[in-house]
Every structure is written in C-alpha cells, then in structure tokens.
C-alpha cells in the first residue's frame, strides 16, 4: 500500500551531497514529496528529512540505494517511530479592515502568529504537523491567499532510543 | 619531502601497485604528464579517451585489479563517459583521473571546462573533485578503496591543474582508509546459510544461476564445488560466462534472451533457483512474472540493494559470494546419483542443442567462425566482443573454461568496447591469445585503437564478422518491425584489409569456409602487431534461439 514515509538521512556536510541524493531519487523513479536539509549539532554532518510515498518494497529499495551513496551515513525511517514532526508555513493573505478580526481569530485558534501587517494583507506564520498546516491553509483560503511557502517537514524521535 | 600534486598522484599509484595506466594528454593534465615523464609506470597512449577507458576496463576484467585511466579536462573527460558507464553497469573496478581547469576558473566556463563530477554522478560508484593538494593523498587512497571493495565500480577523481602544480611538504602515511558512510561488508547471516542449505537438500530440480559476481569475487572454484557436490546444473548470465566450465556435463550454457533452450526450460521447470552474484536483469528473466514460476529462490549477492529489486526472494544472503558459497558447501553432503532431473535436462540438451543452418548465400556462417576460434585456441584465449550479433554468437559458441576470459559489455551494451578492451587485456595477459569478436558496424566505433595496438606491438586479433549490416538491429526490424530495414545497411565501408595495412597491422580477408582454419592459425602466429581479419559472413544469419522482448523464457523463437 502506498503510504508516506519520513526518512531521516544523515549525510556528510559537503558540496554536491544534495545532488547525489536527489539524482538517485530521479534516476530510480521515486518522487520526493518534501525535502529539508540543514546542518546538525556536528558541523561536518547534515540531516535531510525526506518524505517519500511508496509501498514497503519501494521504501526498502530507496533505503538500500541511499545507503550505497558513500556520503550517506545513516537512514532512519521515522514513519513507524514515535516522532515529533513539524513544518513551517508562511501565508500572505488578503486582509482588508472588514476581515482582519476574523483572520486574527483563526490565527489564534491555530496558535499561529501574524508576522507582518501590510495595507491590504497579512503574513501569517504557523508551525505544526502536516495536518495542522493543511488545516490552516484551508481556513485562510476563502480570504484569498496571495502567496504561500512551506518549508517541508523536519522530524525527530521522541525520548531516548530503546 | 617537497612534492607537487602530480608527483603525489604518481606516488599514490605506486602505492596502489598500479603498473599500467591508459590515457591521453591535454592542457589540464600537463603537470601529470610531466611527472609521468620520469616515472616507471607504463603509460599507454590510446587514440581516443574512450579507448583509454575501455582499455583500463579490459585490463581490470582480465586481472581483477583496479584499471586506471587519465584524460584531460572538458572533452577529454567527457570522452571517458561511455567507458565509465560501461564499467559501472558491469561492476568493474576503475579509477579515472580527469584534468580540470584551475580552481580559480571553476564555474567560470573556462576553456575546456566541464563539470565531470556532475556529469558522471549517476554512472560512478563515487566521485571526487580535489580542491586542495593536501587532500590528494587521502582522496586517491579512498578512490582505490571504494573502486575495488564491496560491489566494485568506477570512481572519478577530478584534478584541477593548480592542485597538481602546487608543491607541498609531503609525508606518506600508512593510515587506513576510514569513511564513515562506507563500510566493507564482512561476514553473512549464518541463519540464512542454514536456510539455504535446507532448501538445497530438499530440492528435486535445482538450478544454479551464476552471474558476474562469481567472477568478481573469484569464486569459480566454490561455484564448481557447489554444483558438483549436489550435481546441480549451472546456467550463467552473459557476465557470468567463464565462471563455470562450459564443457562440464552440468553446464547449461547461458540463459535468457539468447540463452540455450535447455537453460531456459530448466529455469521454467526448476523447484529451486540459486542466484549467485546475479541481478535478474530483463535480458535474463524475460517476462518477470513468468520467470521460474515453480521455484523458490536463494539470492546471494554482496549488494543488498539487488535483493528483491526485480523478483521476490525466499532466502536472501547478503555477503561476499566466495565466502557465502564456501559456507554453504561446508554444510552440504555429496550426492552421487544423478536424478530424473538430469534425464529431463539431458533430453532437452539432445533435442535443442545450439545449432545453425547452412549459408543462404554461400558465405561463411558466423557461428562456424566462433566454433573454429574455440577449437583452435582450445577455449584458452581471452575473448572480447563488440555488441550485437557478434557478441551473442561469441557467448553461445565459444567454449569458455576460465573466469576473466570473456570480456564483454553486458549491462550497457557498448559498441566499440571490444578492441580497446582487447588491448587492455593483452597488456595484462601477454601469455594468452586475445581475440576481439567484432561486427563490421561496432568495430568502426573505435577502430582508431588499432593504431595503439600497432604502437605497442600488441598481437591482438580482431575477427570482423562482416555482414555489411547492423545485424542485431536488423534482426529485430525483421522480426518485430515487419522487415522495414531502416538505416541498418552499412555496406558502405572501408576495405578493412587495406585499413589494417595503412595502420601497420596485418589485414586478412576470409571469404571461404574452407579457409577459416588456416587463416586463424596464420593470425595466431603473428607476434608483433595486431591482425584484422575480415570474414565475409552470411548476410542473413541471425541469432537464435531468442526470447522476444518481454516474452516468457519458455516461448523461444528458432533453434528447434
């Protein structure tokens, strides 16, 4: 069954490593749903959080192929793990005086924040798991979304590893 | 001591026990060639960088050592690409050094700049751009280590000119390679070995399906022991040819698209397939859902990603083929009797032996030439091939006995591979006859390398099976495109005898079946230069039997 998997991929923090990973996905015909990369507590190591859809066999192949890249150090599939997942979204929404109050209410409900106020628009920042991010996007759609950007997911396992 | 980058490179090559490199100079590698001027490393100057890559590949396949080639930046590097991809598909250990413009010019579209690490990313096991002379020693050491360990493959090391020119205080240090994302696989799961032994002991109709991994891990002896202990028949892939002696009664020859009928029928009937160092390629399996329908499958491979990639496996064993086979063999008891299974296979072998008809136009049958080469060299030569009908006839009709004697571009299917690979093989094994089985189409893709063979006095023999067609493509046009022979007539061709002579090689033309023996014997007497033999073969001869693409192994055309 096709299901979204979140892979935490620890890689060497070197030029070209992102290309190696994305090239592999393209070449083998797997689609990246979201990807975020950043340095870890160790500056020689980066961590990629990759969301990929596929059945167990595809995920197994993805993992094995990734492991063959010399610059890939470790891969953890966070899908089955107890993990914290977060994504950040910035939404610029149309907001004249008639609707501002209503938007502020929605922002409060989602524990989001208004980070910029323009003459006819607001920029709203929200973090949360994919479900929450989708929900806030849907709630603001009726007001007219002018611009939207999502970071892609980052994730981490809760507590200590058993 | 003070050394520049190029001198450090040569120091590393000596440390890696490299005695021969193949290459072609150019602006960005001038420092390397300047250092080579004083070195006792043998440098073979090819006529094209693609030739250098294939020659290094042929050298690697014939010896098991890492093949090394050098090319300059830009077009020099891009000319290596087909050779690198060829090696990658067949898991051949190679390190390719490419020149690069100076570090200050990288990214500026400088003269002869090409992003070769970017270009070769999907066709190398790994690649490097060396940015500092200080990184050179460690990088080159890693490159060789990665190229030859686990599942081998080509590694590109891109060397900017200033990195090669800069002098640093150099201290060779014997430190071990330590790459945190790359570990050499040791051991295997012994529970899986026991499970495999159990399946083998209970199988009534087992077949061993051996691939190139057996040759790469030098496991031909272990394979033979496995087969002989339990009297299990062995079929090989194209890449596995030579891993099992074709004159054994347990040999089924090659399987797959142009395999023997009896090999494919055995797969169809088997209750156990033992896949050893093979990857269930589409040319082997035919239609995947009808491959080995009654069999449980044991798959032994060093590359975990191969397991379950194309077919579901009952007992996967990730490990070095040689180690795993000897562990299995230790747990097996000898059986003496041959079973009904062998009788069944024996009947297929009698009924469906490889065969070919008589000529339709009075010319020589190409299969006959291969049989003669096989007889005269007693299966002891190194055979390289080009790609197409010539390659398949060589695979079918030459009686190979030893690993590392059949060098062919199996995965990528590279026309133009055979001649430069033969040059590499002859340099590696001057004691053996080296024969390139070629087509008149393929040979023209790298024929310039005959000049290399003349320069280094290498008596390689090129046997052109000349039908004046791009025969394999034409065969498919005849079978699957209603005989619409679109652009496969290459009868406009040079006089290969005159061409050979123009290069300083021996040229021979053979047009009569009766002359084949003598001509081959004569060619094998030449010791100081290459020979091009232009055999005029039956223009309509095709390769059979054949599984149509996407078809089941049981539905073969021809060879009945």
Strands annotated E in B261-372? 272-276, 296-301, 315-318
Query: Which of A12, A59, A64 should one mutate to test binding to chain B, selecting the residue with the greatest count of B CBs within 10 A?
Result: A64
Residue A18 pLDDT greater than 60, yes or no? yes
Distance CA B500, CA B505 (A): 5
Structural domains in chain A (count): 2
Inspect the interface and report whether the beta carbons of A16 and B181 lie closer than 8 Å: no
Average pLDDT of chain A is 93
pLDDT at position A161: 59
Contact assessment for residue B137 and residue B8, using Cβ atoms and an 8 Å cutoff: yes
Contact assessment for residue B212 and residue B365, using Cβ atoms and an 8 Å cutoff: no
pLDDT of chain B, 560 residues: tens digit per residue: 899 999 999 999 999 999 999 999 999 999 999 999 999 999 999 999 999 999 999 999 999 999 999 999 999 999 999 999 999 999 999 999 999 999 999 999 999 999 999 999 999 999 999 999 999 999 999 999 999 999 999 999 999 999 999 999 998 777 789 999 999 999 999 999 999 999 999 999 999 999 999 999 999 999 999 999 999 999 999 999 999 999 999 999 999 999 999 999 999 999 999 999 999 999 999 999 999 999 999 999 999 999 999 999 999 999 999 999 999 999 999 998 778 999 999 999 999 999 999 998 899 999 999 999 999 999 999 999 999 999 999 999 999 999 999 999 999 999 999 999 999 999 999 999 999 999 999 999 999 999 999 999 999 999 999 999 999 999 999 999 999 999 999 999 999 999 999 999 999 999 999 999 999 999 999 999 999 999 999 999 999 999 999 999 999 999 77
Contact assessment for residue B59 and residue B384, using Cβ atoms and an 8 Å cutoff: no
**Both A72 and A97 in a single domain?**
no
Cβ-based neighbour number of residue B403 at 10 Å: 23
Q: Looking at the domain assignment, is residue A127 inside a domain?
A: yes
Question: What digits encode the pLDDT tens for the residues A127-137?
Answer: 999 899 999 99
pLDDT at position B65: 98
**Both A45 and A108 in a single domain?**
no
The reply to whether B54 touches chain A by the CB within 8 Å rule is no
Inspect the interface and report whether the beta carbons of A61 and B117 lie closer than 8 Å: no
Q: Which residues contact B533 (CB under 8 A, 6 or more apart)?
A: B461, B462, B463, B464, B508, B509, B510, B519, B520, B523
Task: Label residues B107-142 b or e (16+ Cβ within 10 Å = b).
Answer: eeeeebbbebbebbbebbbbbbbbbebbebbbbbbb
- Chain B hits for A73, CB-CB cut-off 8 Å, are 180-181
Q: Which of B122, B125, B303 sits opposite A27 (nearest CB)?
A: B122
Residue A162 pLDDT greater than 70, yes or no? no
pLDDT at position A130: 86
Distance CA B519, CA B466 (A): 15
pLDDT at position B455: 98
Instruction: Give just the sign of the alpha carbon dihedral B180, B181, B182, B186.
Output: positive
Percentage with pLDDT > 90 across chain A: 80
CA distance A107 to chain B (A): 44
ipTM of the complex: 0.90
**Both A92 and A142 in a single domain?**
yes
Q: Looking at the domain assignment, is residue A111 inside a domain?
A: yes
Percent helix, strand, coil in chain A (nearest 5)?
30, 45, 25
What SS3 state is found at B543?
Answer: coil
**Both A136 and A113 in a single domain?**
yes
**Both A96 and A126 in a single domain?**
yes
CA distance A60 to chain B (A): 8
Inspect the interface and report whether the beta carbons of A65 and B305 lie closer than 8 Å: yes
Q: Mind listing the domains of chain B with CATH numbers?
A: 2-169 (3.40.50.970), 190-351 (3.40.50.1220), 366-536 (3.40.50.970)
Answer with the one of A77, A101, A128 that is the final residue of a domain: A77
CATH number at residue A26: 3.30.70.260
Answer with the one of A27, A56, A77 that is the final residue of a domain: A77
pLDDT at position A123: 97
Q: Which of A61, A65, A70 sits opposite B182 (nearest CB)?
A: A70
Task: Label residues B14-44 b or e (16+ Cβ within 10 Å = b).
Answer: eebebebbbbbbbebbbbbbebbeebeeebb
Q: Which residues contact A22 (CB under 8 A, 6 or more apart)?
A: A32, A35
**Both A10 and A73 in a single domain?**
yes
pTM of the model: 0.95
Strands annotated E in B83-142? 94-100, 126-129
Distance CA B367, CA B357 (A): 10
Answer with the one of A57, A77, A97 that is the final residue of a domain: A77
Residue A1 pLDDT greater than 90, yes or no? no
Question: What digits encode the pLDDT tens for the residues A138-150?
Answer: 999 999 999 999 9
Contact assessment for residue B542 and residue B356, using Cβ atoms and an 8 Å cutoff: no
Inspect the interface and report whether the beta carbons of A19 and B179 lie closer than 8 Å: no
Residue tagged 């250990």 (tokens): B93
CATH number at residue A143: 3.30.70.1150
**Both A99 and A70 in a single domain?**
no
Question: What digits encode the pLDDT tens for the residues A47-61?
Answer: 999 999 999 899 999
pLDDT at position A2: 79
Mean pLDDT of A19-30: 93
Torsion over CA of B439, B441, B445 and B450, rounded to 10 degrees?
A: 50
Tell me the residue range of the domain where A141 lies.
Answer: 84-157
Residue tagged 């093979």 (tokens): B278
Q: Which of B117, B303, B308 sits opposite A60 (nearest CB)?
A: B308
**Both A50 and A89 in a single domain?**
no
Residue tagged 């340099």 (tokens): B427
Q: Looking at the domain assignment, is residue A162 inside a domain?
A: no
């Amino acid at each position: 069954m096709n299901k979204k998997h979140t892979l935490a991929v620890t890689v060497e923090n070197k030029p070209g490593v992102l290309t190696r990973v994305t090239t592999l996905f393209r070449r083998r015909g797997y689609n990246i749903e979201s990807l975020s990369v950043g340095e870890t507590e160790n500056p020689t190591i980066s961590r990629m959080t990759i969301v990929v859809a596929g059945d167990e066999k595809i995920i197994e192949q993805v993992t094995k192929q990734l492991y063959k890249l010399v610059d890939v150090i470790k891969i953890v599939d966070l899908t089955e793990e107890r993990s914290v997942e977060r994504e950040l979204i910035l939404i610029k929404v149309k907001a004249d005086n008639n609707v501002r109050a209503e938007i502020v209410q929605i922002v409060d409900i989602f524990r989001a924040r208004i980070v910029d106020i323009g003459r006819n628009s607001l920029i709203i920042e929200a973090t949360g798991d994919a479900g929450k991010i989708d929900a806030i996007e849907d709630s603001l759609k009726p007001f007219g979304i002018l611009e939207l950007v999502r970071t892609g997911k980052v994730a981490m396992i809760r507590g200590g590893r058993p | 001591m003070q050394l520049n980058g190029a001198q450090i490179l040569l120091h590393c090559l000596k440390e890696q026990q490299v005695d021969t490199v193949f290459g072609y100079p150019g602006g960005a590698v001038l420092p390397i060639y300047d250092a080579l001027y004083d070195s006792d490393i043998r440098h073979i100057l090819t006529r094209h960088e693609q030739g250098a890559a294939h020659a290094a590949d042929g050298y690697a396949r014939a010896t098991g050592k890492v093949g090394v080639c050098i090319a300059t930046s830009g077009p020099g590097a891009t000319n290596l690409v087909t050779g690198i991809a060829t090696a990658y598909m067949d898991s051949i250990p190679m390190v390719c050094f490419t020149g690069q413009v100076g570090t200050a010019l990288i990214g500026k579209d400088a003269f002869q700049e090409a992003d070769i690490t970017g270009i070769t990313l999907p066709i190398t096991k790994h690649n490097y751009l060396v940015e500092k002379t200080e990184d050179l020693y460690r990088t080159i050491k890693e490159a060789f280590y990665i190229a030859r360990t686990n599942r081998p493959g080509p590694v590109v090391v891109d060397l900017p000119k200033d990195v090669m020119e800069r002098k640093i205080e150099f201290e060779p240090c014997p430190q071990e390679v330590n790459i945190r994302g790359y570990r050499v696989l040791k051991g295997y799961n012994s529970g899986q070995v026991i499970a495999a032994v159990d399946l083998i002991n209970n199988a009534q109709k087992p077949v061993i399906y051996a691939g190139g991994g057996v040759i790469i891990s030098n496991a031909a002896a272990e394979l033979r022991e496995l087969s002989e202990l339990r009297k299990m028949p062995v079929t090989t892939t194209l890449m596995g040819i030579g891993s099992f002696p074709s004159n054994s009664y347990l040999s089924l020859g090659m399987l797959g698209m142009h395999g023997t009928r009896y090999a494919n029928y055995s797969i169809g009937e088997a209750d156990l397939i033992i896949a050893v160092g093979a990857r269930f390629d589409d040319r082997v399996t035919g239609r995947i859902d009808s491959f080995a329908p009654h069999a449980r499958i044991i798959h032994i491979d060093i590359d975990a990603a191969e397991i379950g990639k194309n077919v579901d496996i009952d007992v996967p064993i990730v490990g070095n083929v040689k180690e795993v086979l000897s562990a299995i063999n230790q747990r097996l008891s000898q059986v003496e009797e041959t079973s009904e299974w062998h009788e069944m296979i024996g009947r297929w072998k009698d009924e469906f032996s490889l065969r070919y008809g008589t000529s339709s136009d009075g010319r020589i049958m190409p299969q006959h030439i291969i049989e003669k080469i096989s007889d005269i060299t007693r299966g002891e030569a190194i055979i390289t091939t080009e790609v197409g009908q010539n390659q398949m006839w060589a695979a079918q009709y030459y009686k190979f006995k030893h690993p590392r004697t059949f060098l062919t571009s199996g995965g990528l299917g590279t026309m133009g591979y055979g001649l430069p690979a033969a040059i590499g093989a002859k340099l590696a094994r001057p004691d053996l006859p080296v024969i390139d089985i070629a087509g008149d189409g393929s040979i023209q893709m790298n024929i310039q390398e005959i000049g290399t063979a003349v320069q280094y006095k290498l008596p390689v023999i090129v046997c052109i099976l000349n039908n004046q067609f791009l025969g394999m493509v034409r065969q498919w046009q005849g079978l699957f495109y209603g005989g619409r022979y679109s652009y496969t007539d290459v009868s406009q061709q040079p006089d290969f005898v005159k061409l050979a002579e123009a290069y300083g090689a021996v040229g021979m033309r053979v047009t009569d079946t009766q002359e084949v023996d003598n001509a081959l014997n004569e060619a094998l007497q030449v010791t100081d230069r290459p020979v091009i033999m232009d055999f005029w073969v039956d223009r309509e001869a095709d390769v059979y039997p054949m599984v149509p693409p996407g078809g089941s192994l049981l539905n073969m055309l021809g060879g009945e």
